[in-house]
Structures are given as structure tokens and as C-alpha cells.
Structure 1
Amino acid sequence: MTTLTDRPNTALLVVDVQNDVMASSIESDAVVSRIAELVAKARAAAVPIVWVQHSSEELVEGSAGWEYVPELTRDASEPLIHKTFGDSFEETELESVLAELAVGALVIAGAQTDFCIRSTLHGALARGYDATLVSDAHTTEDLSKWGAPPPAQVIAHTNLYWDNQKAPGRTTGAVPTEDIRFDQ
């Protein structure tokens, strides 16, 4: 029920599942496996998949750590968005790519829960998109030495928070991989 009335389609948005990001995140193997399942489901239903790749001083573009994990392979026809801010929409071509695909609803998975995932969820909602978080297909690293809760609590809180987020004319939710249906 997006507010973008001329955009009836849904897309899978895979955010920052890069080697260095996943190496420092909890339950990376399980999360990558679930994202691979989501990618297969989306492809089987001919749902667009949009890949997002972050770069920064710590995640240098072109480096091995910056590359996507080898377990996930982007098809050349699937858009790749390069970003330098947490919100995947900020100073990127994501909005124009989604407009071209007539996408008004996003299913979001990836890393890091407390930065790029949460920023992108809010960015989508503020721009009128329906935004579903895949509750068991996002992860983060342990930032507790800087005052953050343990990563499992960050993930659980984000799922709770997003499952109860509300905005007029838009839908949100935190849904496990097994309940994501692209073919309906």
C-alpha cells in the first residue's frame, strides 16, 4: 500500500553484504545463506534485485574487503548502487533505479543492522515506500565497547522496532525469510 501509486512492483534490496562487513558481523554464514535464499526466491518470481555496496575510508572501493561475499552472485542485469552514506538513497541513483522499475515496495536484507539497514529502512519509508525488513537476514558487528548493546540485542530490537513502525499510507514489518513471498 505504498504512497507511490504509480509503482506497483516490489524489489529485494541487498545492502552491504561485503567481505569485511560480514567478517566482523555475527552469524554471517547463516545470514548470507538466508539472503541467497531470498535472491533465489526473487529471481524465480522475476522480482527485481537491487544490490547496494558501501565504500568508506575503512572499506576501500576496489579492495578485497569491499567486494561482495563470494556466496552471493549478482546477475549483470541487476542494478548495483554504490554508496558512501548509511542511507542507500542518500546521494545515489537508487531512487531513479526504483522509479524505472516501478518499485514502490522494498524487502530489505543485509548489513549492518544499526547503521545502513536502519538508515535505509527510514530512508525508504520517508520517501513513500513500503519497507519490509527480513528479520533473520540482517546482521551487525559487536560495538558494545562503544556503549552499544550486544549485537543480538541490536538485531532483536531493530526487528521489534520495525515490526511496530507506522506511517500513513505505507506498510512496514519484520518478516522471517521463510515467510517472504515474492510470487503473490
Structure 2
Amino acid sequence: MTTLPNRPNTALLVIDVQSGVMADAHQRDSVITNIAALIDKARTHDTPVIWVQHSDDHLTKGTDAWQYVPELTRHDSEPLVHKTYGDSFEDTDLEDVLAAAAVGRLIVTGAETDACIRSTIHGAFTRGYDVTLVGDAHTAPDQSAWGAPPPDQVIAHTNLYWQYHQAPGRTAAVTKTHDITFTHPATKAT
């Protein structure tokens, strides 16, 4: 039910699942396994898989830490969006990539929950997208030493509030990996 006209398609966003980002991530292996399953399912349904890759002073472009984790392999035909801000839309070509594919619904996975994931789901929703957060396919490191809750609580809280997020003409949802479908909610699931 996106507010974006002529955007009936769905895309899977894989945000910042990079070696340096995932090194100390909560439940790293299970989250990567879930993301890999979603990528396979999206490809089977000819759903675009859009990869987002962050760089900044602490995650230098071209370094091993900047690379995607070895468990996930991007196909050359799949768009790669480079970003330097938390919101994957800010100062990137993500909107152009999604518009070219007539995407109005996003399935969001990746890291970090309380930074780039949160910024991107809000950024997408504000821009008119329907946004489904995959509840067991996003993660964060433990930043409780700096006053943050433990990562399991950050993830649980994000899942809790996002499932109730509302705005006119758009839907927000939280769904587990095994329940994700790559069809628009208004169409029959496959």
C-alpha cells in the first residue's frame, strides 16, 4: 500500500553486513544464515537484492573490514549502494535504483540495529515505502559500556516498536525469516 505511485515491486535490502561491522555482532552466525536464506529466496522469486555498503573514518573503503562477510556473495547484476551516513538513502543512489525497479516495498536486513537499520527503515517509511523489518535478520554489537542496552534488548525493542509504526498509506511490519514472502501484501503470496 505504498504511497509511491506505480511501485508494485518488492526488494530485499542487505545493509552493512560487512566483516568489520559483524565482527562482534550479537548472534552473528544465525543472523548471517537468515540473511543468506532470504537472499536465496529473493533470487528464486526474481526479487531485486540491493546491497548497501558503509564507509567512514572507522570503516575504510577497500579494507578487509569494509568487505561483505565471506558467507554472503553478491551477484554482479545486483545493485551495490555505497553510503557514508546511517540512512541508506542519504547522499546515495538508492532511491534511483529502487525507482528503476518500480519498488515500493522493502524487506530490510543487516546491521547495525540501532544505527543504520533504524535510520534506513525510518528514512524509507518517511519517503513513502512500505517497510518490513526481518526481526531475526538484523543485529548490533554490545554497546552497553557506553550506556546502550544489551544488543538483544536493542533488537527486541526495535522489533516491538516497528511492528506498531503507522502512517497514512504505508505499512510497517516485523516478520521472521521463514515467514517472509517476496510479493506485495496486496497480491497472493508465493
Tell me the TM-score normalized by structure 1.
Answer: 0.99
Aligned to 2:58: 58
Counterpart residue identity of residue 55, structure 1 = S
After superposition, what is the alpha-carbon deviation per residue over 1:104-147, rounded to whole angstroms, capped at 9, x for unaligned? 00000000000000000000000000000000000001111111
After superposition, what is the alpha-carbon deviation per residue over 1:76-117, rounded to whole angstroms, capped at 9, x for unaligned? 000000000000000000000000000000000000000000
Aligned to 1:152: 152
How far residue 182 of structure 1 moved from its aligned partner, in angstroms, is 1.4
- Percent identity among equivalent residues? 62
- 4+ residue stretches of structure 1 with deviation over 6 A? none
RMSD (CA atoms): 0.6
Equivalent-residue separation in structure 2 for 1:80 and 1:24 (angstroms): 24
2:89 counterpart SS class: coil
Counterpart residue identity of residue 174, structure 1 = V
Aligned to 2:105: 105
Equivalent-residue separation in structure 2 for 1:107 and 1:168 (angstroms): 19
Tell me the TM-score normalized by structure 2.
Answer: 0.96
Gaps of 5+ in 2: 184-188
1:17 counterpart SS class: coil
1:176 aligns with 2:176: yes
Alignment of 1:78-117 (within 5 A): 78-117=78-117
After superposition, what is the alpha-carbon deviation per residue over 1:52-77, rounded to whole angstroms, capped at 9, x for unaligned? 00001110000000000011000000
Gaps of 5+ in 1: none
Q: Say how many residue pairs are matched.
A: 184
